[in-house]
Protein backbone atom coordinates (compact mmCIF):
# COMPACT_ATOMS: atom_id res chain seq x y z
CA UNK A 1 0.00 0.00 0.00
CA UNK A 2 1.07 3.57 -0.69
CA UNK A 3 0.85 6.42 1.80
CA UNK A 4 -2.05 7.84 -0.23
CA UNK A 5 -3.97 4.57 0.14
CA UNK A 6 -3.35 4.57 3.92
CA UNK A 7 -4.63 8.14 4.22
CA UNK A 8 -7.69 7.45 2.05
CA UNK A 9 -8.61 4.50 4.29
CA UNK A 10 -8.29 6.73 7.38
CA UNK A 11 -10.23 9.66 5.88
CA UNK A 12 -13.01 7.32 4.73
CA UNK A 13 -12.98 5.43 8.06
CA UNK A 14 -12.84 2.23 6.00
CA UNK A 15 -13.31 -0.71 8.37
CA UNK A 16 -12.20 -3.21 5.72
CA UNK A 17 -8.64 -2.09 6.55
CA UNK A 18 -9.01 -2.65 10.31
CA UNK A 19 -6.29 -5.02 11.45
CA UNK A 20 -4.41 -4.68 8.17
CA UNK A 21 -2.60 -1.63 9.50
CA UNK A 22 -2.66 0.84 12.39
CA UNK A 23 -1.82 4.52 12.45
CA UNK A 24 -0.29 6.58 15.22
CA UNK A 25 -0.61 10.29 15.90
CA UNK A 26 2.65 11.66 17.29
CA UNK A 27 1.05 14.81 18.70
CA UNK A 28 -1.44 12.92 20.88
CA UNK A 29 0.67 9.79 21.53
CA UNK A 30 -2.10 7.34 20.58
CA UNK A 31 -2.59 4.81 17.81
CA UNK A 32 -5.86 3.88 16.11
CA UNK A 33 -7.44 1.54 13.61
CA UNK A 34 -8.37 3.03 10.19
CA UNK A 35 -12.10 3.22 10.97
CA UNK A 36 -11.62 5.27 14.15
CA UNK A 37 -14.33 7.93 14.51
CA UNK A 38 -12.02 10.53 16.05
CA UNK A 39 -11.13 13.59 13.99
CA UNK A 40 -8.29 12.77 11.53
CA UNK A 41 -4.92 14.28 12.35
CA UNK A 42 -2.71 16.22 9.97
CA UNK A 43 -0.88 13.85 7.59
CA UNK A 44 2.52 15.12 8.80
CA UNK A 45 1.68 13.90 12.31
CA UNK A 46 0.61 10.38 11.25
CA UNK A 47 2.78 7.27 11.28
CA UNK A 48 1.77 3.84 9.90
CA UNK A 49 2.35 0.42 11.50
CA UNK A 50 1.72 -3.19 10.43
CA UNK A 51 0.85 -4.35 13.97
CA UNK A 52 -0.19 -2.71 17.21
CA UNK A 53 3.01 -4.08 18.80
CA UNK A 54 5.03 -1.92 16.42
CA UNK A 55 3.01 1.14 17.46
CA UNK A 56 3.47 0.41 21.16
CA UNK A 57 7.19 -0.12 20.63
CA UNK A 58 7.28 3.53 19.56
CA UNK A 59 5.73 4.57 22.88
CA UNK A 60 2.18 5.03 21.56
CA UNK A 61 -0.89 3.90 23.53
CA UNK A 62 -4.15 2.42 22.29
CA UNK A 63 -6.94 4.88 21.43
CA UNK A 64 -9.85 4.68 23.90
CA UNK A 65 -12.34 5.63 21.18
CA UNK A 66 -11.70 2.80 18.70
CA UNK A 67 -9.94 0.27 21.01
CA UNK A 68 -7.71 -1.01 18.17
CA UNK A 69 -6.39 -4.08 19.98
CA UNK A 70 -9.76 -5.69 20.50
CA UNK A 71 -10.82 -5.17 16.91
CA UNK A 72 -7.85 -6.87 15.31
CA UNK A 73 -9.27 -9.36 12.75
CA UNK A 74 -6.30 -11.69 13.29
CA UNK A 75 -7.22 -11.82 16.98
CA UNK A 76 -10.77 -12.65 15.83
CA UNK A 77 -9.33 -15.54 13.82
CA UNK A 78 -7.47 -16.81 16.91
CA UNK A 79 -10.65 -16.49 18.97
CA UNK A 80 -12.61 -18.50 16.38
CA UNK A 81 -9.97 -21.26 16.36
CA UNK A 82 -10.00 -21.38 20.16
CA UNK A 83 -13.79 -21.77 20.26
CA UNK A 84 -13.86 -24.34 17.45
CA UNK A 85 -10.58 -26.22 17.89
CA UNK A 86 -12.38 -29.57 17.62
CA UNK A 87 -13.57 -28.77 14.07
CA UNK A 88 -11.74 -29.00 10.77
CA UNK A 89 -10.49 -25.49 10.02
CA UNK A 90 -8.70 -24.60 6.80
CA UNK A 91 -6.88 -21.43 5.80
CA UNK A 92 -9.42 -20.93 3.00
CA UNK A 93 -12.25 -21.00 5.53
CA UNK A 94 -10.43 -18.55 7.83
CA UNK A 95 -9.90 -16.28 4.83
CA UNK A 96 -13.61 -16.32 4.01
CA UNK A 97 -14.55 -15.88 7.69
CA UNK A 98 -12.28 -12.87 8.25
CA UNK A 99 -12.20 -11.25 4.83
CA UNK A 100 -8.40 -11.45 4.85
CA UNK A 101 -6.22 -13.31 2.37
CA UNK A 102 -4.76 -16.69 3.34
CA UNK A 103 -1.21 -15.37 2.99
CA UNK A 104 -2.00 -12.37 5.19
CA UNK A 105 -3.51 -14.57 7.91
CA UNK A 106 -0.55 -16.98 7.85
CA UNK A 107 2.00 -14.17 8.02
CA UNK A 108 0.27 -11.96 10.62
CA UNK A 109 -0.73 -14.89 12.81
CA UNK A 110 2.92 -15.90 13.14
CA UNK A 111 3.84 -12.31 14.02
CA UNK A 112 1.22 -12.08 16.78
CA UNK A 113 1.24 -15.64 18.15
CA UNK A 114 4.59 -17.09 17.09
CA UNK A 115 2.99 -20.11 15.37
CA UNK A 116 0.81 -20.76 12.33
CA UNK A 117 -3.01 -21.13 12.68
CA UNK A 118 -2.59 -24.89 12.21
CA UNK A 119 0.04 -25.11 14.94
CA UNK A 120 -2.15 -22.99 17.22
CA UNK A 121 -5.12 -25.32 16.72
CA UNK A 122 -3.01 -28.45 17.24
CA UNK A 123 -1.74 -27.07 20.53
CA UNK A 124 -5.29 -26.37 21.70
CA UNK A 125 -6.42 -29.87 20.74
CA UNK A 126 -3.57 -31.55 22.60
CA UNK A 127 -4.33 -29.44 25.66
CA UNK A 128 -7.95 -30.61 25.49
CA UNK A 129 -6.85 -34.24 25.41
CA UNK A 130 -4.57 -33.77 28.42
CA UNK A 131 -7.25 -31.92 30.37
CA UNK A 132 -9.85 -34.58 29.60
CA UNK A 133 -7.52 -37.38 30.68
CA UNK A 134 -6.80 -35.57 33.94
CA UNK A 135 -10.54 -35.35 34.53
CA UNK A 136 -10.84 -39.13 34.23
CA UNK A 137 -12.14 -39.50 30.68
CA UNK A 138 -11.20 -42.70 28.84
CA UNK A 139 -8.43 -42.26 26.28
CA UNK A 140 -10.56 -42.78 23.17
CA UNK A 141 -13.25 -40.42 24.44
CA UNK A 142 -10.72 -37.72 25.24
CA UNK A 143 -9.11 -38.01 21.81
CA UNK A 144 -12.29 -37.94 19.77
CA UNK A 145 -13.76 -35.25 22.01
CA UNK A 146 -10.81 -33.00 21.19
CA UNK A 147 -11.55 -33.30 17.48
CA UNK A 148 -9.05 -35.96 16.39
CA UNK A 149 -10.35 -38.50 13.92
CA UNK A 150 -7.70 -41.08 14.70
CA UNK A 151 -6.48 -42.49 17.99
CA UNK A 152 -3.13 -43.46 16.47
CA UNK A 153 -2.59 -39.87 15.31
CA UNK A 154 -2.64 -38.65 18.91
CA UNK A 155 -0.46 -41.47 20.19
CA UNK A 156 2.09 -40.33 17.61
CA UNK A 157 2.06 -36.84 19.10
CA UNK A 158 1.84 -37.68 22.81
CA UNK A 159 3.74 -40.96 23.12
CA UNK A 160 7.10 -40.06 21.61
CA UNK A 161 6.00 -37.24 19.30
CA UNK A 162 6.53 -39.23 16.09
CA UNK A 163 4.46 -36.81 14.06
CA UNK A 164 6.25 -36.71 10.70
CA UNK A 165 5.63 -39.75 8.57
CA UNK A 166 8.69 -41.67 7.31
CA UNK A 167 7.73 -40.69 3.76
CA UNK A 168 7.65 -37.00 4.65
CA UNK A 169 10.96 -37.28 6.45
CA UNK A 170 12.59 -39.02 3.49
CA UNK A 171 11.24 -36.23 1.28
CA UNK A 172 13.27 -33.71 3.26
CA UNK A 173 10.38 -32.54 5.41
CA UNK A 174 8.20 -31.60 2.44
CA UNK A 175 4.97 -30.01 3.65
CA UNK A 176 6.32 -29.42 7.17
CA UNK A 177 6.63 -26.04 8.87
CA UNK A 178 9.73 -25.82 11.08
CA UNK A 179 10.69 -22.94 13.35
CA UNK A 180 14.31 -22.65 14.44
CA UNK A 181 16.71 -20.51 16.43
CA UNK A 182 20.44 -20.53 17.07
CA UNK A 183 21.72 -19.56 20.51
CA UNK A 184 24.84 -20.08 22.60
CA UNK A 185 25.22 -21.89 25.92
CA UNK A 186 28.00 -23.35 28.08
CA UNK A 187 28.65 -25.95 25.35
CA UNK A 188 28.94 -23.36 22.58
CA UNK A 189 26.54 -22.68 19.71
CA UNK A 190 23.44 -24.84 19.35
CA UNK A 191 20.38 -24.90 17.12
CA UNK A 192 16.90 -25.93 18.21
CA UNK A 193 14.23 -26.59 15.58
CA UNK A 194 10.61 -27.61 16.09
CA UNK A 195 7.46 -28.51 14.20
CA UNK A 196 3.99 -28.03 15.64
CA UNK A 197 4.46 -31.42 17.35
CA UNK A 198 7.66 -30.68 19.20
CA UNK A 199 11.42 -30.31 18.92
CA UNK A 200 12.83 -32.24 15.96
CA UNK A 201 16.48 -31.12 16.15
CA UNK A 202 19.07 -29.98 18.68
CA UNK A 203 22.59 -29.83 17.29
CA UNK A 204 25.79 -28.27 18.59
CA UNK A 205 28.36 -26.60 16.35
CA UNK A 206 31.14 -24.08 15.97
CA UNK A 207 29.10 -21.30 14.33
CA UNK A 208 25.58 -20.14 13.60
CA UNK A 209 26.16 -20.49 9.86
CA UNK A 210 27.28 -24.12 10.12
CA UNK A 211 24.27 -25.09 12.21
CA UNK A 212 21.81 -23.47 9.82
CA UNK A 213 23.44 -25.35 6.93
CA UNK A 214 22.91 -28.63 8.82
CA UNK A 215 19.22 -27.83 9.35
CA UNK A 216 18.69 -26.94 5.69
CA UNK A 217 20.45 -30.12 4.56
CA UNK A 218 18.30 -32.22 6.92
CA UNK A 219 15.01 -30.60 5.86
CA UNK A 220 15.67 -29.13 2.40
CA UNK A 221 12.01 -29.07 1.35
CA UNK A 222 10.40 -27.89 4.60
CA UNK A 223 9.19 -24.34 5.24
CA UNK A 224 11.78 -22.98 7.68
CA UNK A 225 11.14 -19.93 9.85
CA UNK A 226 13.80 -18.23 11.96
CA UNK A 227 12.55 -17.26 15.43
CA UNK A 228 13.86 -13.92 16.76
CA UNK A 229 15.23 -13.86 20.29
CA UNK A 230 12.84 -11.05 21.27
CA UNK A 231 9.68 -13.01 20.43
CA UNK A 232 7.56 -14.71 23.07
CA UNK A 233 7.21 -18.19 21.57
CA UNK A 234 7.19 -21.78 22.75
CA UNK A 235 10.52 -22.29 20.99
CA UNK A 236 12.25 -19.48 22.90
CA UNK A 237 10.85 -20.75 26.22
CA UNK A 238 12.09 -24.26 25.39
CA UNK A 239 15.53 -22.87 24.49
CA UNK A 240 15.77 -21.00 27.80
CA UNK A 241 14.79 -24.14 29.74
CA UNK A 242 17.25 -26.24 27.72
CA UNK A 243 20.06 -23.75 28.40
CA UNK A 244 19.40 -23.90 32.16
CA UNK A 245 19.46 -27.70 32.01
CA UNK A 246 22.76 -27.83 30.10
CA UNK A 247 24.57 -24.89 31.67
CA UNK A 248 23.63 -25.08 35.35
CA UNK A 249 22.23 -28.58 35.76
CA UNK A 250 18.56 -27.61 36.13
CA UNK A 251 16.00 -30.40 35.94
CA UNK A 252 15.41 -31.82 32.46
CA UNK A 253 12.73 -29.60 30.88
CA UNK A 254 9.43 -31.16 29.85
CA UNK A 255 9.79 -30.36 26.16
CA UNK A 256 7.71 -32.29 23.58
CA UNK A 257 9.83 -34.17 21.06
CA UNK A 258 9.13 -34.95 17.42
CA UNK A 259 11.22 -38.01 16.55
CA UNK A 260 12.07 -38.79 12.94
CA UNK A 261 13.70 -42.08 12.02
CA UNK A 262 13.18 -45.77 11.33
CA UNK A 263 11.15 -47.89 13.74
CA UNK A 264 14.39 -49.37 15.12
CA UNK A 265 16.05 -45.98 15.60
CA UNK A 266 13.01 -44.64 17.43
CA UNK A 267 13.00 -47.72 19.67
CA UNK A 268 16.65 -47.02 20.55
CA UNK A 269 16.01 -43.31 21.19
CA UNK A 270 13.06 -44.07 23.45
CA UNK A 271 15.28 -46.38 25.46
CA UNK A 272 17.91 -43.64 25.78
CA UNK A 273 15.28 -41.35 27.27
CA UNK A 274 14.75 -43.95 30.01
CA UNK A 275 18.42 -43.83 31.09
CA UNK A 276 18.44 -41.84 34.32
CA UNK A 277 20.26 -38.59 34.93
CA UNK A 278 23.82 -39.39 36.02
CA UNK A 279 23.62 -43.04 34.94
CA UNK A 280 26.01 -44.40 32.30
CA UNK A 281 25.86 -47.64 30.32
CA UNK A 282 28.07 -49.40 27.81
CA UNK A 283 26.79 -50.04 24.30
CA UNK A 284 26.58 -53.73 25.18
CA UNK A 285 24.61 -53.04 28.36
CA UNK A 286 22.23 -50.89 26.34
CA UNK A 287 21.63 -53.68 23.83
CA UNK A 288 21.12 -56.25 26.60
CA UNK A 289 18.63 -54.05 28.45
CA UNK A 290 16.74 -53.53 25.21
CA UNK A 291 16.46 -57.29 24.79
CA UNK A 292 18.63 -57.40 21.66
CA UNK A 293 22.08 -58.44 23.01
CA UNK A 294 23.50 -59.32 19.58
CA UNK A 295 22.62 -55.93 18.06
CA UNK A 296 25.37 -53.87 19.71
CA UNK A 297 26.60 -52.36 16.46
CA UNK A 298 23.10 -51.52 15.27
CA UNK A 299 22.31 -49.89 18.61
CA UNK A 300 25.51 -47.84 18.49
CA UNK A 301 24.71 -46.76 14.94
CA UNK A 302 21.20 -45.64 15.96
CA UNK A 303 22.70 -43.70 18.88
CA UNK A 304 24.91 -41.90 16.39
CA UNK A 305 21.91 -40.90 14.26
CA UNK A 306 20.25 -39.10 17.16
CA UNK A 307 19.24 -35.62 16.00
CA UNK A 308 18.11 -34.30 19.40
CA UNK A 309 21.17 -33.81 21.55
CA UNK A 310 20.93 -34.05 25.37
CA UNK A 311 17.12 -34.46 25.52
CA UNK A 312 17.75 -37.86 23.96
CA UNK A 313 20.82 -38.57 26.12
CA UNK A 314 23.07 -40.64 23.89
CA UNK A 315 25.98 -39.06 25.76
CA UNK A 316 25.28 -41.46 28.65
CA UNK A 317 26.48 -44.46 26.62
CA UNK A 318 30.21 -45.35 26.87
CA UNK A 319 32.51 -48.02 25.53
CA UNK A 320 32.87 -51.27 27.41
CA UNK A 321 36.25 -50.21 28.82
CA UNK A 322 34.71 -47.05 30.30
CA UNK A 323 36.18 -44.64 27.74
CA UNK A 324 33.94 -42.02 26.19
CA UNK A 325 33.44 -43.67 22.82
CA UNK A 326 31.83 -41.54 20.10
CA UNK A 327 29.71 -38.40 20.14
CA UNK A 328 28.69 -36.59 16.98
CA UNK A 329 29.12 -33.16 18.62
CA UNK A 330 32.60 -33.75 20.01
CA UNK A 331 34.05 -35.63 22.99
CA UNK A 332 34.70 -32.39 24.92
CA UNK A 333 30.96 -31.72 24.96
CA UNK A 334 30.22 -35.31 25.96
CA UNK A 335 32.68 -35.09 28.84
CA UNK A 336 31.22 -31.73 29.96
CA UNK A 337 27.69 -33.13 29.96
CA UNK A 338 28.68 -36.18 32.02
CA UNK A 339 30.68 -34.06 34.45
CA UNK A 340 27.74 -31.70 34.91
CA UNK A 341 25.39 -34.58 35.67
CA UNK A 342 27.78 -36.12 38.18
CA UNK A 343 28.25 -32.72 39.82
CA UNK A 344 24.49 -32.34 40.28
CA UNK A 345 24.25 -35.81 41.87
CA UNK A 346 27.08 -35.07 44.31
CA UNK A 347 25.60 -31.73 45.33
Point out the residues that are catalytic.
Answer: 32, 314
- Positive or negative, the CA dihedral 314, 319, 323, 328 is negative
Task: State how far the alpha carbon of 277 is from the alpha carbons of 188, 271, 273, 337, in Å.
Answer: 21, 13, 10, 10
Burial 192-203 (b: 16+ CB within 10 A, else e): bbbbbbbbbbbb
- Angle made by CA atoms 147, 263, 115, in degrees to the nearest 5: 40
Concatenated DSSP letters for 159-188?
SS---S-HHHHHTTSTT-EEEEEEEEETTE
How far, in Å, CA of 214 to CA of 191, rounded? 9
Question: Minimal CA–CA distance to 209: which of 191, 225, 221, 227?
Answer: 191
| Edge-first strand listing for the sheet containing 61-62 | 46-49, 22-25, 30-32, 61-62
Question: Minimal CA–CA distance to 50: which of 93, 121, 4, 111?
Answer: 111
Concatenated DSSP letters for 26-59?
TTTTEEE-TT--SPPPPGGGEEEESSHHHHHHTT
3-class secondary-structure state, position 194: strand
46-49 vs 22-25, strand pairing mode: antiparallel
Residue 277 exposed, middle or buried by CB count within 10 Å (0-12, 13-18, 19+): middle
3-class secondary-structure state, position 203: strand
- Positive or negative, the CA dihedral 215, 195, 265, 246 is positive
Amino acid sequence: MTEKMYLNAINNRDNTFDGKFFYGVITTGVYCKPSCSSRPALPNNIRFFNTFEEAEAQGLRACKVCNPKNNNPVAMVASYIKKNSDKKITLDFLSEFSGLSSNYIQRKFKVLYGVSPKQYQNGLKLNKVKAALKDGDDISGAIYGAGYGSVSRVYEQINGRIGMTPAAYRAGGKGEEISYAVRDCSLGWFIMAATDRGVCMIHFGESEEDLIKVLFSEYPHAQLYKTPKSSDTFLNHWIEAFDRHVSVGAKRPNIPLHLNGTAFQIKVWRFLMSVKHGEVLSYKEQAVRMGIPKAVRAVASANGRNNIGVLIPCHRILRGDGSLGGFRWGLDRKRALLDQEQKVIIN
